[in-house]
């Protein structure tokens, strides 16, 4: 398919991709320029603040010297000790401001030399003042006054005043130059944003024209197809050929509707990008550099626009589910023989069915397909053989977990966990495993639709899927099916309120060790909500340093599998140094898989992810009370 742009026929897909790439590049350049200019503005503002602080210290230093000289002269004339109060106060102020001036000097050779000369002159002047004060106290007031009249300190003060005036003038000039630089920087940024906005507007206008031309051509093609259909009916009268023409006409209409939808979505994305850039421009014009949310919105709109063409190639199949109340243990148990035949002899299968597992209202065939898909992927991840563990249990996903995972509703679920000892999934691949048609397998060995199908089914049925994986260790895929209350004779027991949780106290210090930032932040927030004092670390090495700095830690709550030092190795090292330290492990792997894989001892204290704040409160309390 081609489109007409500026009088030329161009391939439609290439034209759209090129336009989106140009828009994305312009946005990246604009955002980079905005960030660079913002950083320059921050640096210049910091220099302005330092110059103003330097001027303030110079003025206070000058005032202190004048106060000291005034107090000394008052005492020489009257002999009253009360006149020395300004002198004594000024000495403290002078020392403080000299220290500030030396700190502001930094690595600037001019300022460093100037600060040294200030200290020399101040020391000389204060020494002269103290000599005359001591003379007055010894009863030699006339001699002291004569020393003052001799002008011994005048030369020092003259040089001091001259240096103060020169330094103030220099700092004032720096302030003026830096403010001018800030204005120039803001002007350049406004120009870049304006130019990028105009170019984006031009690209959008060209695309709108191209899409409209394409729609017009499609309508013309549709009309031609209708005419051809009528001619075929009249000339040939063959039903089969007539039906073929009708199908062709319907396809053209569908393409026309799709093109209209593309134009609508793309215009919406351009509206987001242009509006965000214009708002950022207005903020900058007012001198406000807080434009992050507008640049983020523009970047998000560009990313969504860049994926629009790939969505045209996607095809999703929707079919109605046939839900029924199922016993998950019976479904999993009934699949054991099929799975053993599918996995082959070099993969050891272990099925662990939990006691009292709830029922779920869902499509049994879809559940079986999901388990089979995951097991096949696990088998492919263990080409040299390994172990596959399937477990069932009840689970509760709390509000904290739901807020961290936008597609999850808090509540009760039936969990099916499939754990393998394969090669694991790299982080960059893990983020894409649910994308349709994404696969790391060789051509012809995978469609990339397996996990996408699992994800779509669980989302449709109100469930959730989570993946925990470490490269070289293995992978656990957890399926959460919503619990059903059908066929229950009694209402479920109400959940305990947060007031009934076993709370901690600020005197109990808990060290949280977790390499994934989001999980670590939630764990820290939960423990602090329970009343504990919490410190945290992102690695085993950092955790040992935190223990050394704060040896009063009572409990260490650590992930098992972490880059570098594992949770078990960290625990051994920490307990060797602090034998009284208690340890609670956590992991995304299921308990039976962890135990049999030898990651922790069978009697180790373990809290499985995801856990609720109730689970965390009770587990921590139980470990502390042992």
Kindly report, residue by residue over 344-380, the tens digit of the pLDDT.
889 999 999 999 999 999 888 888 988 998 998 889 8
Let me know if residue 319 belongs to a domain: no
Give yes or no: residues 429 and 575 share one domain: no
The secondary structure element, H or E, covering residue 27 is: helix 12-78
Let me know if residue 490 belongs to a domain: no
Residue 445 pLDDT: 56
Give yes or no: residues 294 and 369 share one domain: no
Residue 314 pLDDT: 30
Give yes or no: residues 375 and 249 share one domain: no
What is the count of structural domains for the chain? 4
Residue 142 pLDDT: 86
CA–CA separation, 550 vs 555, rounded Å? 12
Give yes or no: residues 338 and 474 share one domain: yes
Let me know if residue 452 belongs to a domain: yes
Give yes or no: residues 62 and 110 share one domain: yes
Q: What is the CATH number of the domain that holds 144?
A: 1.20.120.1730
**Boundary (domain end) residue, out of 142, 164, 182:** 182
Cis (ω within 30 of 0) for the bond into 610?
A: yes
Given a cut of 70, the residues of the chain with pLDDT beneath it are 1, 3-7, 12, 16, 41, 152, 210, 238-266, 268-269, 271, 303-322, 436-438, 441-449, 488-499, 589-603
Let me know if residue 489 belongs to a domain: no
Answer whether 584's CB lies under 8 Å from 596's CB. Answer: no
Residue 592 pLDDT: 54
Give yes or no: residues 358 and 286 share one domain: no
Residue 387 pLDDT: 93
C-beta atoms surrounding 320 within 10 Å: 7
**Boundary (domain end) residue, out of 312, 342, 376:** 312
Give yes or no: residues 86 and 213 share one domain: no
Strand partners, 606: 585
Domain span at residue 95? Answer: 44-182
Answer whether 513's CB lies under 8 Å from 556's CB. Answer: yes
Residue 456 pLDDT: 78
Give yes or no: residues 395 and 428 share one domain: yes
Tokens of 526: 């939960």
Give tens-digit pLDDT for 472-495. Answer: 889 999 999 999 988 743 333 333
Tokens of 497: 């309120």
Residue 239 pLDDT: 66
**Boundary (domain end) residue, out of 423, 452, 482:** 482
What share of residues in the chain are helix, strand, coil (percent, to 5)?
Answer: 60, 15, 25
Residue 391 pLDDT: 95
User: Cα dist. 265→56, 208, 580 in Å?
Assistant: 57, 11, 62
Distance, C-alpha 386 to centroid of its chain:
36
Let me know if residue 581 belongs to a domain: yes
Give yes or no: residues 123 and 177 share one domain: yes
Residue 46, classified by CB atoms within 10 Å of its CB into exposed (0-12), middle (13-18) or buried (19+), is: exposed
Residue 590 pLDDT: 56
Let me know if residue 320 belongs to a domain: no
Tokens of 536: 């945290």
Tokens of 238: 């063959």
Give yes or no: residues 423 and 382 share one domain: yes
Give yes or no: residues 122 and 212 share one domain: no
Taken in order 188, 193, 198, 203, is the CA torsion positive or negative?
positive
Give yes or no: residues 378 and 246 share one domain: no
Q: Give exposure, 97-106, as e/b (b: 16+ Cβ within 10 Å).
A: bbebbbebbe
Distance, C-alpha 227 to centroid of its chain:
58
């Amino acid at each position: 398919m081609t489109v007409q742009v500026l009088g030329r026929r161009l391939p439609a897909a290439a034209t759209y991709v090129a336009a989106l790439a140009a828009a994305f590049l312009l946005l990246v350049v604009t955002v980079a320029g905005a960030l660079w200019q913002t950083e320059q503005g921050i640096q210049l503002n910091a220099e302005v603040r330092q110059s103003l602080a330097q001027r303030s210290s110079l003025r206070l230093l000058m005032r202190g010297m004048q106060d000291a000289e005034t107090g000394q002269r008052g005492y020489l004339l009257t002999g009253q000790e009360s006149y020395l109060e300004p002198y004594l106060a000024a000495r403290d102020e002078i020392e403080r401001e000299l220290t500030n001036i030396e700190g502001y000097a930094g690595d600037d050779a001019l300022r460093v030399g100037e600060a040294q000369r200030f200290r020399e002159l101040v020391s000389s002047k204060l020494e002269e003042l103290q000599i005359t004060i001591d003379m007055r106290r010894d009863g030699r007031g006339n001699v002291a006054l004569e020393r003052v009249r001799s002008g011994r300190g005048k030369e020092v003060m003259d040089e001091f005043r001259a240096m103060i005036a020169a330094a103030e003038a220099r700092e004032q000039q720096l302030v003026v130059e830096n403010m001018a630089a800030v204005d120039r920087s803001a002007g350049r940024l406004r120009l870049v944003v304006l130019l990028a906005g105009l170019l984006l507007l031009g690209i959008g206008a060209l695309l709108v024209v191209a899409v409209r031309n394409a729609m017009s051509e499609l309508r013309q093609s549709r009309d031609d197809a209708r005419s051809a259909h009528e001619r075929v009916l009249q000339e040939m009268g063959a039903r089969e050929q007539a039906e073929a023409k009708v199908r062709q006409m319907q396809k053209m209409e569908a393409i026309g509707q799709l093109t209209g939808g593309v134009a609508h979505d793309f215009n919406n994305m351009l509206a987001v990008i242009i509006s965000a850039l214009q708002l950022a421009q207005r903020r900058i014009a007012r001198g406000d550099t807080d434009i992050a949310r507008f640049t983020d919105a523009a970047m998000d709109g560009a990313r969504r626009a860049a994926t629009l063409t790939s969505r045209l190639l996607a095809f999703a199949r929707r079919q109605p589910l046939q839900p029924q109340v199922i016993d998950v243990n019976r479904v999993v148990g009934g699949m054991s023989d099929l799975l053993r035949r599918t996995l082959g002899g070099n993969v050891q299968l272990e099925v662990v069915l939990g006691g009292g597992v709830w029922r779920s209202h869902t499509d049994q065939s879809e559940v079986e397909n999901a388990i089979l898909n995951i097991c096949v992927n696990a088998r492919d991840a263990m080409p040299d053989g390994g172990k596959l563990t399937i477990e069932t249990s009840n689970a509760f996903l709390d509000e904290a977990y739901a807020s961290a995972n936008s597609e999850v509703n808090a509540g009760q679920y039936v969990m099916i966990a499939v754990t393998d000892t394969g090669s694991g999934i790299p982080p960059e691949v893990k983020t894409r495993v649910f994308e349709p048609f994404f696969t790391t397998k060789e051509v012809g060995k995978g469609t990339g639709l397996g996990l996408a199908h699992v994800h779509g089914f669980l989302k449709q049925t109100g469930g959730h899927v989570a993946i925990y994986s470490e490269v070289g260790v293995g992978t656990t895929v957890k399926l959460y099916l919503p619990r059903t209350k059908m066929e229950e004779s009694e209402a479920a027991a109400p959940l305990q309120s947060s007031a009934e949780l076993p709370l901690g106290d600020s005197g109990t210090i808990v060290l949280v060790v977790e390499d994934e930032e989001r999980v670590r932040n939630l764990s820290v927030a939960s423990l602090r909500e329970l009343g504990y004092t919490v410190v945290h670390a992102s690695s085993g090495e950092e955790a040992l340093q935190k223990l050394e700095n704060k040896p009063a830690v009572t409990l260490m709550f650590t992930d098992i599998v972490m880059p570098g030092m594992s949770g078990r190795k960290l625990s051994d090292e920490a307990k060797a140094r602090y034998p009284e330290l208690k340890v609670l492990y956590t992991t995304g792997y299921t308990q039976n898989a962890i135990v049999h894989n030898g990651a922790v001892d069978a009697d180790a204290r373990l809290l499985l992810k995801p856990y609720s704040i109730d689970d965390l409160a009770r587990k921590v309390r139980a470990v502390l009370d042992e």
